[in-house]
Amino acid sequence: MGWVGRSIDGFAKWLLRFRIISIPARWIANSRPAWSFISRTDRVRERRMKTRVMSSELPKHVSIIMDGNRRFASDQGLAATIGHRYGKEKLEDVMDWILELGIPYLTVYALSTENVLSREPEELEGLFDLYVEGLKEMADDERIHRNHVRVQVVGRMDLLPERVLDAIEYANKKTSTYEKFVFTVCLAYGSREEIVDAVREIAADHAGGEIQLTDISESEISKRLWTGEIPDPDLVIRTSGEERISNFLLWQMAYSELYFTDVYWPSFSRHDLLEAIEAYQNRKRRYGE
């Protein structure tokens, strides 16, 4: 039936060339009843998708490379700092959706070590302010405490300013006893640096006689990583259309399922999240077999 659809589509486009058709069609498309109908249809589709997703096995750990804030802002004619603020607000939404689904681990890539060293100082200062604001808000958020969410930050702490470190400590103290959900923010993070640090720690332990060469294993390396206390991600999502890992969780995502979407992070919707999870559920995980 593909040719029928193409024929109807072509005929409709031909009709829209005539003002007597295009003007009322544009008015109808932008009318309140039309938008109400589309919105209602989208909500029905989303509920059905959520029902399907909830009826299958959910990933226990979702990781997200939040990409596209600056391009989103550029397309809207806005400053990059505004794009980052939209991105912060989107993260709050996604956390709510993850909690609704009951997924116990969420890890996000907020700032790489390369970003810290290459971004303009003005943009970095704006980002640091957003991190301070976001961490303090989460630490005081009733939803965080009601759901027993532990908030933690991993990365090169020595690259972060004092005010960000203070906000990290504040969030840690307020949520450190929680275990039901774990939300991890990767700040000033680089996976190669993380692996190098783990190797150095093992080398120091070996030099001190605390570990033998024959005892060095995958698990010994894994537990020394900055994310050593949480399981490896089942699903890794990257927004904005880029299809690369960008030095994120290189060791941990060895057997993760990867999902790429063209949507910029500030435009990422609940439907996009459900679509990613459903794609994950439709795959057969092989773990290298």
Residues with catalytic annotation?
Answer: 67, 115
Q: Which amino acid is at 94?
A: V
- Phi, psi dihedral angles at 230 (to 5 degrees): -125, 155
Helices 270-281, 32-54: inter-axial angle, 10-degree rounding: 30
**DSSP states along 162-173:** HHHHHHHHHHHH
CB atoms within 10 A of CB 210: 10
Residue pair 116/159 in contact by the 8 Å Cβ criterion: yes
Residue pair 225/252 in contact by the 8 Å Cβ criterion: yes
| H or E, element range at 278 | helix 270-281
How far is residue 261's CA from residue 271's CA, in Å, rounded to a whole number? 12
How distant is the alpha carbon of residue 238 from its chain centre?
A: 7
Numbers of helices and strands, H then E, in the chain: 12, 6
Contacts of 68 by beta carbon, 8 Å cutoff, 6+ apart? 239, 240, 241, 263, 264, 265, 266, 267
Q: Count the helix, strand and coil residues of the chain and give each as a percent rounded to the nearest 5.
A: 55, 10, 30
Alpha-carbon distance values, 264 to 37, 129, 239 (Å): 25, 22, 6
CA dihedral sign of residues 278, 51, 107, 196? negative
